Amino acid sequence: MAKMTPRTLSGFMELLPAPQQQLERIMEILRRTYALYGFTPLDTPVIESSDVLLAKGGGETEKQIYRFQKGDADLSLRFDLTVPLAKYVALHYNDLSFPFRRYQIGKVYRGERAQRGRFREFYQADIDIIGDGKLSIINEAEIPAIIYQTFSALGLRRFQIRVNNRKILNGFYAMLGLSEKSGDIMRTVDKLEKIGPEKVKAILTEDFAVSPADAEEILRFIAITGESGAVLAALETYRGRSPLFDEGLEELSTVVRYLGDFGVPAENFAVDLTIARGLDYYTGTVYETTLLDHPEIGSVCSGGRYDNLAEFYTDRQLPGAGISIGLTRLFYVLGEQGMLNPDLPTAPADVLILPMTEDLSPAISLATLLRQNGIRTQLHCEEKKFKQKIAYADKLSIPYVIFLGEDEVQAGVVTCKDMATGEQTKLEPAATVYRIKAGLAERDKGAVILG
């Protein structure tokens, strides 16, 4: 028969079993952490009607979307988890209680140009808090705690949550009478780290007709850095010139004030006035998260406060705050950087049983006992040489191998080999279970991510 060469589409991540176990572990930690903060899991369809999904329309997104006909229906694959959330909240408004807190970890689709580290199918891990009409600033203050807890639980230490407030930015540009140019200015200022202050000033004055004095003022403003208290003190000197600015400053002060109570260490947090994020969407606090030893990766968790989640579907004012982790890309980058802990178990089983008797009853009963004790167990009954079966356990990093021959069955014991140390014990089944469980607990202690 002619064979079709098997292949996986470029831009689609398909992992081997060991890295898949690492990714599963990360997803499990995300689920657990999000749940700790009172977020409920949601799952929306991957396919939506195109008119619903593209209600907002236009932009780069529409070009990248996977859109197709099926019968009479014009369908599209979701390109993020925010639009489906907006639809969900508008559609199920009467069945939901507000504030509505949900997390969703799901695949999204963008037909981007394929290149290394860019994916067309990728997981996003989102949380959002949606209010009905209003939403307290405390929700925005809580989000750094969720980011901190998430990355800490994954094992990261050297990361920084950077926070700004769009009202402060917009208020500041209003003070200078530059509100209408604020979009262009913010996009330029965003390049500060890359191109330096002189270039920024040149672009502002030449391309956007900002006066040299105002350009200086802008550069002075965004140069305000330091620990949070110092930044807030510097911002206080601008108070009284724009109600919007003052409101933003109040909000930012509240966010900073409760950080300690929320359990966020000062060294993992910074106010960063250069952060703006999606210009036509965010309206209050905005967040980015960077790995201190890998700034080149960019933000690994971003988001902010928005005033109107579902304006394309409903007249109701549904403000919200949320963050998103681009999980597939993060996982890829962590792997590239060698930051995934290789010592955590990735084996499909904790124990491989090699029966060495004609009658398999004792081996099967032992497997059942181990499983009843929560130990992941595989029986290896294939016709292979003993050496090949040991090599199998070795290759899969299965930590324990149990041999069960006539002698052991007669004596009511099992021989159990610790594959890491080579140590071999001959103990009763219950004692073997105890030893294995203790060993597994020890092996499971590390974090997923090194850093």
The secondary element (H helix, E strand) that includes residue 213 is helix 212-222
- Contact residue for a second copy among 41, 59, 177, 265 (CB under 8 A): 41
**Does residue 265 interact with a second copy by CB under 8 A?**
no
- Contact residue for a second copy among 29, 79, 81, 87 (CB under 8 A): 87
**Does residue 22 interact with a second copy by CB under 8 A?**
no
**Does residue 315 interact with a second copy by CB under 8 A?**
yes
- Angle between the N-to-C axes of helices 192-208 and 182-189, in degrees from 0 to 180, rounded to the nearest 10: 150
- Contact residue for a second copy among 14, 280, 296, 358 (CB under 8 A): 14
Separation of alpha carbons 222 and 376, rounded Å: 55
SS (H, E, C) 81-125: CHHHHHHHHHHCHHHCCCCEEEEEEEEEECCCCCCCCCCCEEEEE
**Does residue 91 interact with a second copy by CB under 8 A?**
yes
Token pair for 38: 């009172």
Residues 394-423 that bind a second copy (CB under 8 A): 395-396
**Does residue 80 interact with a second copy by CB under 8 A?**
no
Bridge partners of 352, per DSSP, are 378, 401
Q: List, in order, residues 6 or more apart from 191 with CB less than 8 Å away.
A: 199, 200
Residues 337-396 that bind a second copy (CB under 8 A): 348-349, 352, 360-361, 364-365, 367-368, 371-372, 374-383, 392, 395-396
For residue 375, give the nearest of 445, 294, 434 by alpha carbon: 434
Candidates 102-110, 281-289, 420-428, 443-451: pick the segment binding a second copy (CB under 8 A). Answer: 102-110
Q: How far is the CB of 322 from a second copy (least distance, A)?
A: 15
Q: Which residue, 48 or 293, is less far from a second copy as judged by CB?
A: 48
Token pair for 239: 């108070």
- Contact residue for a second copy among 75, 202, 297, 419 (CB under 8 A): 75
Q: Which residue, 176 or 264, is less far from a second copy as judged by CB?
A: 264
For residue 222, the tally of other CB atoms under 10 A from its CB is 22
Q: Which residue, 24 or 206, is less far from a second copy as judged by CB?
A: 24
Site string for a second copy, 130-149 (x = CB under 8 A): -x--xxx-xx--x--x---x
Residues 202-261 that bind a second copy (CB under 8 A): 258, 261
- Contact residue for a second copy among 30, 78, 121, 300 (CB under 8 A): 121
Q: What is the DSSP letter of 267?
A: G
Separation of alpha carbons 290 and 258, rounded Å: 21
